[in-house]
DNA sequence: GCTTGACCTGGAGCGCGCTCCAGGTGTCAG
DNA sequence: CTGACACCTGGAGCGCGCTCCAGGTCAAGC
């Protein structure tokens, strides 16, 4: 169980220092350990959790939904069923998002091809 | 060359009335035709352009980049090379976005599977 | 002990992309 | 002609997700 400074945690998680503090403030990150002097000390467990948060953020989950997830996680094992349900719903949303993205990416490629042919015709 | 009311244009494009007006205001949508009384009349050409805007928005292009694209489009055929370059750069960004999304979707599925096994073990 | 740089807090501010509002005008069916 | 409803303008406001700031404290190397 290693200990990490705030800046190292920032580097490893990809969240800025301000964002880490913000996440703690809004309850996304619960009660990080402190030195006697009050500076934060992050654990491997915190880093793991941050990794999950990053995954959720990158897949577009809004903050308030992540807060609900965090809240469930704090209530212990009894909430696992609820958590898995939340994640499944999110996974479905992500699937739709990917489908839309791919469809629009196709249109984008079509448009590029069209412009390229215009370009060729003009030269 | 059909004509469309604002509300019909909204319905067809998926942009709200306010958004259509906003887009015109910031130059994303240039000089929409008007009735003698001053109400907007959208053309097939406008709808086509809105379709492109939708494609760009759905793939995450920021507004200011779309404005630059619109500006190029207004300058005529000479800007086609610049436009295609802009679109190609964007397409690359979209590819990265899709790759990240798929990677994180994988992690999400892993997490769900992990929770499910926890759930099974507890029952 | 002193310096330096990382870190602390509470709170204000920001950039984005709309969205809403008030107060007025246009259009069209009956 | 009238009523009802769609639409107009300029400008303010909002929700999100951070980000920045001032003014101070802590920790570690010399």
Domain ranges across chain A: 3-122
Res. A13: pLDDT tops 80:
yes
Confidence band, pLDDT 50/70/90 cuts, at residue B123: confident
Chain C bases under 7 Å from protein CB?
Answer: 6-9, 16-21, 25-27
> Which candidate from B54, B101, B109 shows the least CB-CB separation from A101?
B101
Name the residue among A112, A116, A96 with its Cα closest to residue B91: A112
Res. B1: pLDDT tops 90:
no
Contact B58, A100 (CB under 8 A): yes
B98/A105 CB distance under 8 A: yes
Please enumerate residues of A whose Cβ is less than 8 A from a Cβ of B: 52, 54-56, 58-59, 77, 80-81, 83-84, 87-88, 90-91, 94-95, 97-98, 100-102, 104-105, 107-109, 111-112, 115-116, 118-119, 122
Please tell me the predicted confidence (pLDDT) of residue B84: 97
Q: What digits encode the pLDDT tens for the residues A44-69? A: 999 999 999 999 999 999 999 999 99
CATH topology for the A3-122 domain: Multidrug-efflux Transporter Regulator; Chain: A; Domain 2 (1.10.1660)
Mean pLDDT of B24-40: 97
The dihedrals phi and psi of A18, each to the nearest 5 degrees, come to -60, -40
DSSP A59: T
């Amino acid at each position: 169980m290693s200990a990490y400074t705030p800046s190292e945690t920032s580097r490893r998680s990809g969240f800025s220092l301000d964002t880490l503090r913000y996440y703690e403030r809004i309850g996304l990150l619960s009660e990080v350990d402190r030195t006697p002097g009050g500076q934060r000390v992050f654990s491997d467990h915190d880093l793991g959790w941050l990794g999950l948060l990053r995954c959720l953020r990158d897949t577009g989950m809004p903050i308030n939904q992540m807060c609900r997830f965090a809240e469930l996680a704090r209530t212990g094992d009894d909430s696992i069923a609820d958590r898995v349900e939340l994640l499944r719903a999110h996974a479905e949303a992500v699937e739709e998002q990917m489908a839309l993205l791919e469809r629009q990416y196709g249109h984008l490629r079509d448009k590029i091809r069209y412009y390229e042919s215009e370009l060729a015709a003009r030269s």
